[in-house]
Structures are given as structure tokens and as C-alpha cells.
Structure 1
Amino acid sequence: MICSTFRRYVLFALPVLLAILLGLTAAAYAAPIAQDTPPVSPPLELPSARRGRMIYQENCASCHGRQGLGEGPLASELEFPPAQFADAAIARQTSLARWFHIAKSGRAERMMPAWGDRLSDQEIWDALAYAWTLHQEEGELDQGRTIYQERCARCHGENGLGDGPEAPPDMPDLTSFDTLDRSLASWFDVVTEGRNDMPGFADTLTEGERWAAVEYVRSFVYRPLTPPTYEPGEGVIRGSVTNATPSGPVPSGITVTLRVFDSETFDEVRNFETTLGEDGTFRFEGLSSASEWSYMVMLDYAGVPYASDVRSFPEGSSELDLPVTVYEPTEDGSGIRIERAHWFIDFEGQSLLIGEMYIISQDGDRVYVGGEQVAPDRRVTLRFPLPAGYQDLGVDPGPIGQRFFVVEDAVVDTLPVPPGQGIRQVMIRYRYPYQGKRLEFQHVLAYPVAHLNVLVNDVGVKVSSSQVTFQGKRGGSGQQFLNLAGSDIPAGEVITLSFEDLPHGDETRAAVGSPVVLVAVIVALAGALAAIGYLIWQRQREVPAMEPSAPADLSELEMERERLILSIARLDDEYEAGNIDEDVYQRERSARKARLLEVIQQIQELSES
């Protein structure tokens, strides 16, 4: 498969490789670790395993596996086997403080990056809280709670504060973050053998009961996975549906669905329906206004799905406005254009490894719904021609056969295209075999392109073109890229790249194959394309590409829905903090929101079937 073959190569699978850089969490915990942990920053608030689940899945699961078994999709490519968080014997011998120190600072000798450069301290604590739960057995915390209340609460207090009715003056506070540097094994020994005035329980509790008790005590310093319960309240959500097509009618009489999400995990917990009024307004009452819940309005207009932003009630308020904008449909796609196109080219053996990224705009005031039908309820809205002879095709966000299809040597998208600048982003990757030392690579562009940027891994090849001009070399840290660029390219133009001195066999594997050089490559590319690099890294964290032709899986789609909602919220935070330009923010937000609508539709279809 394409991913297992190409993940080592930076230009072919840039999103995946960025995940390798950020996700090379090697087996730092594979054996019991001496508890000589330097002082670490305590959490700003109680770490949340539920909030950390998404952070873990985005950043750690690619190596450690979704269940913490060390079987992530990238694990086989690491020199050291990833730690198995699900192994209780490993977890019990270390401490959360030690895990935090390693996760934040990294371990260069094992090629593990310092996550402190990418995540806040609180995000790291949250991710570790989730990782901690992976070794726990079902019902273990409940069992531990019962044992604690019966055997321990009289001294340690009902909530571990050391304020029980029989507590001595020096009773420790088990809820203090100071206990984060204690291993579970050390507590187990105390519970077993006793210490000072505390009796041992070796004769009165089984080994499993003692482990359950200390597991429960550990939960005093983090919030477990137990979800909250949605309770009705006094909250009111109202909104209006605006038709942004001039002279378009005011929508009315259609079903409006309010979806309720857990604000920490973005699991959908409830949904409500109402009918849009004659004036294009809607209203939902009796809702919880607690910050634990987020809301989104969805509706279908003229066969196209639309949604509001995802929002929570403002603090102290019981009212929330969720407006929705819709458009009239059209089958005229003449307003489609490519704002920016980026081609990344690397080499393996006697093949070009090509990654293409397209940022799409649509001029007009109607949503383009396509013309040619390629599947039931699926029309072609975008077409990306492929060069004859391509192999091992992949698309992000994929997989092929659901939203994307291959029609006559072209990747076609079937998602309706609303008006706007940079409202769609598509990434395509494939292998292109060649023979000999020279190649005329020809690739047609179906739409007018404002800017085309080409980066070629500099492994000694020569590349030239009459349509894109050489801009020099980009990069650093020992890794260079040949950069070519062109502007105002008309639709239907065939771009020809002439290659000379092409490598043979495995000549280029060493150039980007090792993890050490790989890090330098990505850093160099990030320097050349900082804005794209940031967004691709974010997109890979939040929406990992699926294998071509992979069947739709409900759990995977639900996880992707959660990642997308969280990614939009993070994007909003980055924009409000001034870290992202307005045009980049609007473009990326539109693309993520469009993907979110598609994923929610797929979830609904699978659930109904």
C-alpha cells in the first residue's frame, strides 16, 4: 500500500512525515524507570483523560497505537519499539511526573521529539491522563472506590484530602499535585506492608484489590473517562437562515437539527429537531447552558447540507445565537479556479514520488453542485487530471470511493463547492515510474491557476520548464529543494517538467531515509513554506489520511468528527491570538467546516443503515 511504502519520504507524503516528526514517541518507558525525575510544572487544572483522549489520538496513536499497545501504523518504521501504555506492569513502575518530563523535553538519543514545542503543558498533562487509563481494567476504578471508602476514607478522607474523622495530624493530601512523582508501585508497597501508623493490607485484601485501591487513589489528581450526564436547563438557542444568493427566497419549512456535543471529547450526546419558520428563524428551548456542552445547527437546503459554527453558551448567559448561511444551487462551474497549487516531488528507485496540494476558490453567489453523476447522489464538482502511468494513488481527505472517485485518469471530488476564496483544499499523492536518466513529465491543469509552486528534492537532478521558472534552492540543515514557480496559468495548460540526471535504484534512499536527516528535511521545508507547513501539520494531527479504498468505518468517522470540531476551535484560538492571517484563517476554516459536514452526513447514513 502507498502509505506503508512512502512514509519515509518527505516530499511525497508530507502530512504523514510531519506526523512522524511530531509523533516519534519511542519506547521511552519500555522498562521501569528510576524515579530521578527533575521538577516539573504542575498542571494548571486537574488533567482530564476525556480531553486528553483526542490529544493522544492526534499526536501519539500513530506510534503507540489507539489502544496503547505499541502497534501504531508508524511503529514498524521506528528503531525502538513504542511503549505499550496498556501494559500495567510498565505504567505501575513509573510516575506521571516522569512521563511528563519525557513527553515535554523529549529524548534525543531515541529520536523522540520534545512535545513542549507543540503542545501546552496542560495539553501534555491531559494526554498523559488518557494514556494512564489505557492499562486500567474495566470496573477497576469502581472496585477501588468501594475498597477505599470501606478501608481508607476514615483516615484519608472521602476525597483524599487527609481530613477523615480518624486522621492523624500529619495525614498527607492525596489530591496534591506533589504526588505526581510517586509511582503506583510505591503506593502498592505501602498498602501491602503498611508504614508508620498505617496498617498493611496484605492479609485482608487480594493483590487485585490492592492495585484497584491505589488506582482509585491515583484518580484524585486527574479526571477519569467517566462522561457527564446531559441535563435540561434554561438555555435558549435561536438563529436565522440567510440566503446569500441575491434574490434568493427566504428558506422556510425545512427541518433544523440541533446537535449537542461533549465539549471535552466532542462525542455527540443528544440531538433535537424543529421546523424553520416562515421568516427563516428557528428556536430551541430547555437546553443546558453549562460549559460542558457545545452546540451546532444543521439543515439541508436545495439538496446541499449546511451547518452553523460549533459554539458553547457564553459564561453566565442562557442565550446563544447560531446563524446559518445558505446559497442557491447551480450547475455552472465556470467560477472554479485554483488559488494556489503546490507540487512536492521526491524520488524512490526509478519513480517520482509526487504530492500535490490545491487550494480552490469559487467566484459567484451560488453553490456549485456539479453535473456528471459518478455514483448515487454523487456529482462531479472538481476534477484533478492525473498523468498517464501514475500508480499508488492516495487522496486527502480520502478515501477513494466515498467522496472522491477516479474517472478517466482524473481524481474527481463530489462535495458541493460554495462561493468564496480558498474554500476547499485537496491533497493528492502518487508514484510515477520512469526509465533512464531523462524524463519529460507532463501534467495538465484543469482550472486556471493563480500561483503554482514546485519543490523538487535536490538529489543531483536537473529540472527545467518553460511554464514555471527556477527560483533557486530552498531549505537548510543539509537538505535542499529546487524551487520553480509560475503565475496566471490558464485552464487546460499542460505543465512540462524536464528532468535530467535522474537517480537509479536506491540512490536516493539515504537522502531522506534516516530519522535524523528526516527531521532536518522537514524543518528545512517548513522554513521555505511556513504557512503551508503549519496548516499541513495541523491537518495531519486533526484529520489523518485514510488508506485508498478503505471501507467507511463508523468509529473512525466519529473520531474524525471529533478531531474536526476540535481543530476548528483551535484554529479560532490561533486566529484570535494573532498567529494566523485573515485569509489563511478563513480559507482553512471553510475547508475544515466543509469536511465536517461531509463526515456528519456519512455518520448519519451509516447509523441509519
Structure 2
Amino acid sequence: MIYFRRALIVVALLLAGCGGLAGEPAIVATLPPVTPSVSYPATPPDLAVGASVFAGHCTQCHGLSGAGDGALIGSGQGQIGVHPLSFRDAATTAAQTPLEFYNTITDGNIEHFMPPWKDALTDDQRWAVALYTYTLHNAQANVDAGAALTSGQPITLANLPSAENNVKLTDAQLISQVGLPAAFISSLSDQQKNDLAAYLRSLTVANAMHMGLVTSAPQVTAEPAVTPEVTAAPAAAGTGTISGQVTNGTSGAKVPADLKISLYVITTQGASAPMDATVGADGKFSFANIDIRLDQKYVVTTTYNGRAYGSEAKDGDPTTNKVDLPITIYETTDDVSVLTILAWVSQVQLVGNNLQVSDFIQIGNSADRAYSTNVAVDDKRYGGVEVPVPKDALIQSADVSNSRYTIGADGHSVIDTAPVLPGQSYIFQMVYSLPYRGDIQVEQTVPYTLSGAYRLLVNLPGATVTSDLLKSLGPQELSGVQYQSYGTSDPLKAKDSIRYGVQGGVQATSSTAAVINRDQLIPLLLIVAGLVVILTAGMIYWRGRRPLTPEPTTRSNDALVDGLIQQISELDETYNKGSLDEDIYQKRRERLKARLAALIDEDK
């Protein structure tokens, strides 16, 4: 579930133009608040159901026991380099609430490779697996020990906050709201507080005896209702042609005649082995006698100048028996003058004794070449956009296992290995922390010309923010979280600095804590105009321009499919060069194919 997808992710964001971020500051106040629709549990979440859902959907990333050691997690090719936190560790849930777990399961967290499950799981299933994972660090022994602590003052469900309210509370907050004397709670050790919370949570769920238990097969707690078996109609199929035109989007540049094109057919069983063809002198390619089916997707890829490009993944249409898959390739440039920062949003919140800053930067490329330097960051990737972090910052969003971002040689910058395509805007993201003792001055260097607006969103109740550049824009609500917003629309030159100070403030409580993820901040970032933005967690951009019209949410699955296809393509290329053992190659390919099958099943 969480961290479910392979690191190469391509997300297309389709937004209608409505002005705002790059305009006058007052326009920001007209942005409609993004408030999530939450359906609170009508009945106690069933831990047995949660265990079953977890076993069926989550173990490949989170591991059978929930320790974050699933088969897809690791530093090898075909694995996800970002390790999930262990649900077996009480620290994982200490600062979070069941509602936050539920929201992450529902809406996803793409930057951590967590897809949204709101369409794949029912509301009851999402609440069940949220409470199951939230309490997985406990066991029946903890529940019994917690019950013994209250033997002198028995607590029942009637003493607890309502179902809607208790899921908004951390364990520490919950034990303080059941009528127990404050002195008694203060006298408890950390372990006793944990046990007490385990007991209180057990009163709010069904099948509490499953707390902390692991299952490898779906569990049934009641006889399921019998539903008529329905036999699906076979998908229409035909035999036809996959063809396309390779275009070099750089003026005056040509498509090499020997360019190899690889075709992948994606079924419910995963991606087929690639079929290869070579473009003709006119840049066209064709694959004949291909089965064309409604329930299959088709995509072609190519590598040019060491950068990979690909078409959109399209469904088959047996009524025409043709699929057109055009690809655009580009020459590259390392001229930084072609880059312009169109918008920049920084989110600041207090986490422990550190200020955590999440930056989302929209960057445009005015040239007709893809921006990518010739500086290799390793044997497979080239450096691209590079953004420095403030003094004393600890970078949290890039490491040696990250497939897209890496840390600069001096340790004080984040480098993106994804090229910036011509005429497209993309999103650069980085997260870092700064030690905070109640007073800090932050200086952020601007790496490229900033022509749009900068916004600083601070979720630190009681804090004072000072800056000669940034003006107070008042409160800004995102996903029910209240921020104090600051910003400027003044243009800045490369090497200029954005300076601000933060004094005082307290860590937000769980009810006001910022749990905003990239999916919620990017619409604010891109509110300036109707854009088609391509995000990638890998080395390439896959899609060309898309129509400026809304699309169903299932398009995100198409993007994830594209990323997995590219990963398979790179794996095949490495194997064909003799750089990968046969057994390792087959195992990794099967894992990637399994992920593709799961994604395609979700689209049905």
C-alpha cells in the first residue's frame, strides 16, 4: 500500500487557468480552500478486515509483519529506495492520528510512492486498515496491561470521545481525555502510557483480538453474503498495426535513421518482452500483426543521446486495429539561461526541534532543447536543475538510493536528474530541516531567474515571521490546515536571496498539524495558468503536451504504468548489455510485471 509504486513515476497535472499565484497578492485570498471530504467510521473499524486488506495489498512494500521490509524495498534495480517506517515501532504513530493514516491511505502520498486507494478500497476497508496499521505495534499483552492500569477506575467506551473525535487524537491526547487524573497519567512510564492507549483503542474497534497479529491470507469474521457469479464478456480483439512518427523537437535537428524503437504491450499479467523496430528515413516506425485489444495498453520507448523518451500509453481499439504512438525527442543544452522559475511555494512546520521546509518549484524551459547537463552524477544519470539549501540544512529528500534526486558533491544542494523539456514546466521538490531553538534566520539562494511569485506557508501557531522582501498575505487554508501566508511577486535574479526570520511558536497540535502533501500544494503552485505539467521521479519525461481539459482520476494510474514500463525497459537494456545476472534479471522483471498487473486491475 504505502510506498507501493516503483520510483519512476510520471504524474500529469491538468489544471484550468484561473490566475492568482503570479498576480497581485490579494488574489491569493480568492483561492477556494481545499478541504478533504472525510467519512468518519459509522461502525467500529474491524481489525480482522484490516489485517486481510493489509495482507492482500500492502506486504510487498511494508513487509509481512509491517516492519517496512517488503520485497520491493531496497537499493537494487527494480526496487524502491525509500524505506517505509515500521508499523512495529510505536514512534511511527506517536505524532500521528488514525485520521492522518486514513487520509494518507485515501489520498495517497505520491512523493513517497503511495498511491490513492479511495477507488480501490471501500471506506470501511480504508478505516479498517488504517486502525490495523496504526495499532500494529501493540499486541494483546499490551491491551491487557493497559486494562489492568485502569482497574481502580474502569473505563468503558462511554468514557471515550465520539468515534469522529477519537480518530483525530494521537494516543497521548486520547489517554488525557477519558477522565483519568492528570497526576495519574503523569506518573506512568512511556510503556505504561502505550499500554493504556492500546487498551483504549481496543474499545473503539471490532475484533480487537487481531491487534498486532499478522495474517498471510484474508480472514473472514462472518459468513459473506452470496452474490451471483458474473462471467465477464471477453474483450474485443483484432490484429492490426502499431505505428508512429518520431519527431525531433529541436529546430534543425534530425531523427537518426538507426534509432531503435521498443514496443511494450501491457496486459493484466504485466508488460510483454519488448518488440524492437528501427525508424525509417522519414522517422516513421511500424509494428505489424499485433493483437489489438481493449483491455491492453501499448507504449513505445526510445533512447536518444543517453536520455530516454516515450509515447503516451494508449488503450487498444479493435474497431480500427490501429494505434498511433508518436514520440518527440530533443537535443540537449546545459545553458542555464533557458531556465526560469515560474512559481515557488515553501511549506514550513515544526517537527520536534527542527523546522521542516518543503519546497515546490515550478521551472520552465524557453529553449527548444531539453535542459540537462553533461555532468554525470553516476554511471546512468546526468545532472540537471540544482537548487542549494540554506546554511545548516539537513537534506531529507535525496539520498544514494533515490532514482531521481541526488545530493550535490558539497552536500549543500539537491540535484534533479530529470531533464526539463522544451516548452514544458516541471516541478522540482526538496525537503530539508533546520535546527530550531525559537529564533532562526533563513537565507535561500535563488538558483535561476524567478519571474513569478514566491509563497511562504507557515504552520507554526504563535510564531512571528519577519522579512524585508516577503509581505504578509494573511491566512491560507489548505486541506483544512490554517497557514500564515507570506509572499512576493517581485522578480528576482539568479543568485539573489530570499531571507526571512522565524521567532517563537509551538508545534501544531494533531487537529491543526500540517499533513499537506505534494498533491495538495501543487495546485496552489500552478494556479497561475492552465498548464500540463509532467512530473517524473526518474530520469525522463514521458508524455508530450496533453489537452487542457479535465481527465478522470484514473489517469494517475496511466502515469504510474508508464513509469513501470520505463523501468522494465531499462532493466532489459542492462540485461542485454550483459551487466545483470540472469536470475536477478528474471526476479526483478517479474516483480515489475506484477506491479503493472495490479495497476491495470485497478483501472478495470
Change in Cα spacing, 1:238 to 1:452, as seen in structure 2 (3 Å) is same
The size of the alignment, in residue pairs, is 410
1:134-193: CA deviation from partner (whole Å, max 9, x where unpaired)? 6269xxxxxxxxxxxxxxxxxxxxxxxxxxxxxxxxxxxxxxxxxxxxx78537xxxxxx
Provide the rounded CA distance (Å) in 2 between the counterparts of 1:247 and 1:494.
Answer: 38
Give the equivalent residue in structure 2 for 1:30. Answer: 47
Provide the rounded CA distance (Å) in 2 between the counterparts of 1:478 and 1:468.
Answer: 24
Change in Cα spacing, 1:368 to 1:282, as seen in structure 2 (3 Å) is same
Check whether the contact 1:342–1:454 (CA below 8 A) recurs between aligned residues: yes
Amino acid at match of 1:447: Y
- Deviation of the 1:368 alpha carbon: 2.1
Provide the rounded CA distance (Å) in 1 between the counterparts of 2:374 and 2:362.
Answer: 21
- Deviation of the 1:244 alpha carbon: 1.6
Give the equivalent residue in structure 1 for 2:447. Answer: 446
Check whether the contact 2:439–2:502 (CA below 8 A) recurs between aligned residues: yes
SS of equivalent residue, structure 1 residue 306: strand
Q: How does 1:536-547 map to 2 (within 5 A)?
A: none
In structure 2, stretches of 5+ residues that fail to align are 4-33, 69-83, 103-120, 129-162, 170-214, 528-534, 581-604
Provide the rounded CA distance (Å) in 2 between the counterparts of 1:221 and 1:135.
Answer: 24
Give the equivalent residue in structure 2 for 1:404. Answer: 406
Give the equivalent residue in structure 2 for 1:296. Answer: 299
Check whether the contact 2:241–2:321 (CA below 8 A) recurs between aligned residues: yes
Amino acid at match of 1:464: T
- Deviation of the 1:405 alpha carbon: 3.1
Aligned-pair identity in percent equals 21
Give the equivalent residue in structure 2 for 1:191. Answer: none
SS of equivalent residue, structure 1 residue 334: helix
SS of equivalent residue, structure 2 residue 336: coil
User: Is 2:471 aligned against 1:469?
Assistant: yes
Amino acid at match of 2:324: D
SS of equivalent residue, structure 2 residue 223: helix
Q: How does 1:208-219 map to 2 (within 5 A)?
A: none
1:245-299: CA deviation from partner (whole Å, max 9, x where unpaired)? 121124322111001112x57x212320011111110000111111121111111
Q: How does 1:65-464 map to 2 (within 5 A)?
A: 73=84, 75=87, 76-77=92-93, 100=122, 102-103=124-125, 108=164, 111=167, 135=217, 186=223, 220=229, 234-262=239-267, 264=268, 267-395=270-398, 399-400=401-402, 403-408=405-410, 409-422=412-425, 424-435=426-437, 437-449=438-450, 450-464=452-466
Q: Does 1 or 2 have the higher relative contact order (CA < 8 Å, sep 6+)? A: 2
Check whether the contact 1:359–1:426 (CA below 8 A) recurs between aligned residues: yes
Amino acid at match of 1:135: A
SS of equivalent residue, structure 1 residue 415: coil
- Deviation of the 1:387 alpha carbon: 1.2
What TM-score does the superposition give when structure 2 sets the normalisation length?
A: 0.55
Check whether the contact 2:312–2:562 (CA below 8 A) recurs between aligned residues: no
Check whether the contact 1:354–1:430 (CA below 8 A) recurs between aligned residues: yes
Amino acid at match of 2:467: S
Amino acid at match of 2:310: A
- Deviation of the 1:355 alpha carbon: 0.7
Amino acid at match of 2:167: M
Check whether the contact 2:260–2:302 (CA below 8 A) recurs between aligned residues: yes
Change in Cα spacing, 1:304 to 1:593, as seen in structure 2 (3 Å) is farther
Provide the rounded CA distance (Å) in 2 between the counterparts of 1:523 and 1:367.
Answer: 31
Provide the rounded CA distance (Å) in 2 between the counterparts of 1:373 and 1:236.
Answer: 38
Check whether the contact 2:365–2:423 (CA below 8 A) recurs between aligned residues: yes
Provide the rounded CA distance (Å) in 2 between the counterparts of 1:402 and 1:524.
Answer: 18
Check whether the contact 2:248–2:329 (CA below 8 A) recurs between aligned residues: yes
Change in Cα spacing, 1:392 to 1:325, as seen in structure 2 (3 Å) is closer
Larger radius of gyration: 1
Q: How does 1:545-556 map to 2 (within 5 A)?
A: none
Provide the rounded CA distance (Å) in 2 between the counterparts of 1:311 and 1:320.
Answer: 8
What TM-score does the superposition give when structure 1 sets the normalisation length?
A: 0.55
Q: Higher helix fraction: Structure 1 or Structure 2?
A: 1
Give the equivalent residue in structure 2 for 1:207. Answer: none
Provide the rounded CA distance (Å) in 1 between the counterparts of 2:37 and 2:475.
Answer: 23
Give the equivalent residue in structure 1 for 2:482. Answer: 480
Amino acid at match of 2:283: G
SS of equivalent residue, structure 1 residue 239: strand
In structure 1, stretches of 5+ residues that fail to align are 4-17, 34-48, 84-98, 114-132, 138-182, 188-213, 535-541, 546-556
Check whether the contact 1:65–1:71 (CA below 8 A) recurs between aligned residues: no
